[in-house]
Amino acid sequence: MGTRKKVHTFVRVKPTDDFAHEMIKYGDDNKSIDIHLKKDTRRGVVNNQQTDWSFKLDGVLHNASQDLVYETVAKDVVAQALDGYNGTIMCYGQTGAGKTYTMTGTTENYKHRGILPRALQQVFRMIEERPTHAITVRVSYLEIYNESLFDLLSTLPYVGPSVTPMTIVENPQGVFIKGLSVHLTSQEEDAFSLLFEGETNRIIASHTMNKNSSRSHCIFTIYVEAHSRTLSDEKYITSKINLVDLAGSERLGKSGSEGRVLKEATYINKSLSFLEQAIIALGDQKREHIPFRQCKLTHALKDSLGGNCNMVLLTNIYGEAAQLEETLSSLRFASRMKLVTTEPAINEKYDAERMVKNLEKELALLKQELAIHDSLANRTLVNYDPMDEIQIAEINSQVRRYLEGTLDEIDIINLRQIQEVFNQFRVVLSQQEQEVESALRRKYTLIDKNDFAAISAVQKAGLVDVDGHLVGEPDGQGFGLGVTPFSAKPGKKSKSKKTFKEQLSSSARKEGASSPVSGKELDVSTSKTQLTPSSKEGDVKDMTIRERETSSIEPLPSDSPKEELRPPRPSTPPPKPVAFEDFKNERGSEINRIFKENKSILNERRKRASETTQRINAIKREMDVTKEALNFQKSLREKQGEYENKGLMIIDEEEFLLILKLKDLKKQYRTEYQDLRDLRAEIQYCQHLVDQCRHRLLTEFDIWYNESFFIPEDLQVALKPGGSIRPGMVPVSRIMSLGEDAQDKFSQLQQVLLPEGPDSVAFYNAKVKTEQKHNYLKTMMGLQQAHRK
């Protein structure tokens, strides 16, 4: 483990023209801040009001640029993350103090980008500088809104909304969010696209303190995994960087929040209060319990608060006199956070595949060394490989001869042979036990003492005494449950048995021809209702493949032969039902195929569930008939007189077979019922896949229909391969007014901005793509609403 270190705390003051110079002063070392308040004369002569406060911090950032803030606060944390250390950077403060600007910045200007995009850029720059390591980067974006967890990247087409709500789960490796999507990013531009996608989904509101106030806590996490390309060591390092943008605390009297905004403010202040309680508990060395589970925010940040990571807190405050009380509250929080200690440590894991290869190499070397040792010790050639079937059979033969007394001793060669000798002793002992049990079963009907159902059945039948001894035919060693001798049965037994069979036959005819019970004989045969187990694993694999195909469907390219041979477009758009059939045969053929296959699987599962239900009903009817026959046999025995042998009750073979048959039917009933429950779960899952395919098919059809029949023919050339516009990228409402395409505008933007920021290409690329996507979605929603009207 690493050495313990305190949390680094910094303060950033929001620039203002009305700075309170008389009340707020900075230390010469720029690591302290002093607050002075004038005494309230309205309290009288005796006034013990505190007027001065001094706070020691790791740095005060006043009129600092975004570059300076990142260099001071975040650069070292991100750099150590690639060495295997977890890191957390948190922005805390009053609403409108500049937390989101500090963390995210603005997407309009590259220079004003915040800590988060700069951290992504630094990670990919450092990856390029480490060619000896294979480093993968993944990201996730979590939002905590009104004590509920949301995935800000769930709007991506390959993710989709989660069916089950997300939950916070703890395991020995730490805390993680179950249901949160994690996305692999191979280049800087992809990471920026995910960041911008999540930012557009954040919840904001307006009040008197801030026009664009964040109404939720957001945690952007960067996961790093590094494998060495040069070393064959199975160890690799992992780390994660949590970039936390907390919602601002509010004084409702100042913000003037009402309605929904008021409810959001209540949840925000409550969670921040719980966060402060957890910080106070962490700073107290005598406290044993830390209240992490009081709210979702503290529970999700359990690893970051006092865990094994580098923790940095950036407190944003106002510099105005009107906000001095909130500034004091934020600085108190920062000073409490400074008392918290963490224990950063490198996160090392082991690659199982590489470990196996290294162990195989080491095993080969050890075998070679062992062979050299045997030759130096003048030992004969010894085989240390695992034994084959012939060698095992030879050892089994030696063990049997040793037990029979024909072999005096067994020669020992190596340790593996000793283990196999003991193993064969166990095998021989088990075989002898089975032979003894089978011999007893041929003579007696045995009941396992641990089978409480069978024991209960024979107890109800009066076959055991108070001490639990079973009665049967004596064999000189004791008593066991067996077939009653024919001489012990009364002379009228056969007649009564015939009467019983006739009654049973009539009852079976009442149940109908589908009843599995025969009136001619009553066998305890399990073959009548035994079912062949279904290949559930194969079915689950099929459904998993269907789901992957469904989630990974891409629109077919527009350069297919069918579209090239398409007849001229009619002057008026065709009816949607007709166009839909054409779409299913052309561009949507792949989606339609998967939809039909999923639907066929769903119908097959429903058919199997129906058949299983019919079998369950048949088994239930058979159980009822067997119970009726058992009750009849019992009542018949009571009428004829109960026979005893040395004070214990004896039943005949037919009644005992009925008891066993009832037990077997109950077992089959439970098995079939479990199969039915599994099938119902599969049906529910298949129905979800079918609905997902149907939704995708209709969505793709709407896009195809609008682009095929609403875009003028002279602009269709731009949508073909080699054109500057991809189908689905440009909204239909903007097609008519395209003076220049998006690529031309972006090229002009690059010519203006690239001389000032050569590294901004990925940033602006991601920004343009995100804007195009969301403009397209808005336009399509507008078209759908207009079509409905």
Closest by CA to 315, choosing from 468, 103, 127, 559, is 103
Residue 750 to residue 510: CA distance in whole angstroms: 88
Residue 527 to residue 524: CA distance in whole angstroms: 9
Residue 187 to residue 121: CA distance in whole angstroms: 10
Contact between 182 and 140 under an 8 Å Cβ cutoff? The reply is: yes
Residue 583 to residue 589: CA distance in whole angstroms: 7
Residue 535 to residue 678: CA distance in whole angstroms: 12
Residue 134 vs residues 126, 129, 229, 589, 602: alpha-carbon distances, Å: 12, 11, 6, 40, 43
Residue 375: alpha-carbon gap to chain centroid: 56
Residue 527 to residue 101: CA distance in whole angstroms: 74
Contact between 735 and 751 under an 8 Å Cβ cutoff? The reply is: no
Question: Kind of pairing, strands 133-145 and 217-228?
Answer: antiparallel
Residue 772 to residue 751: CA distance in whole angstroms: 20
Residue 191 vs residues 123, 125, 747: alpha-carbon distances, Å: 11, 13, 21
State the CB neighbour count (10 A cutoff) for residue 489. Answer: 16
Torsion angle in degrees (nearest 10) through CA of 398, 400, 405, 411: 20
Token duo for residue 243? 């970039």
Q: Is 100 annotated as a binding residue?
A: yes
Stated as kind and residue range, the H or E segment containing 758 is none
3-class DSSP state for residue 590? helix
Contact between 20 and 360 under an 8 Å Cβ cutoff? The reply is: no
Q: Is 607 annotated as a binding residue?
A: no
Residue 38 to residue 321: CA distance in whole angstroms: 11
Q: Is 191 annotated as a binding residue?
A: no
Q: Is 377 annotated as a binding residue?
A: no
Residue 696 to residue 703: CA distance in whole angstroms: 11
Q: Is 9 annotated as a binding residue?
A: no
Residue 249 to residue 333: CA distance in whole angstroms: 12
Residue 61 to residue 12: CA distance in whole angstroms: 5
Residue 509 to residue 589: CA distance in whole angstroms: 54
Q: Is 94 annotated as a binding residue?
A: yes
State the CB neighbour count (10 A cutoff) for residue 234. Answer: 18
State the CB neighbour count (10 A cutoff) for residue 553. Answer: 20
Instruction: Enumerate the known binding-site residues for ATP.
Output: 93-100
* Binding site as annotated, residues: 93-100
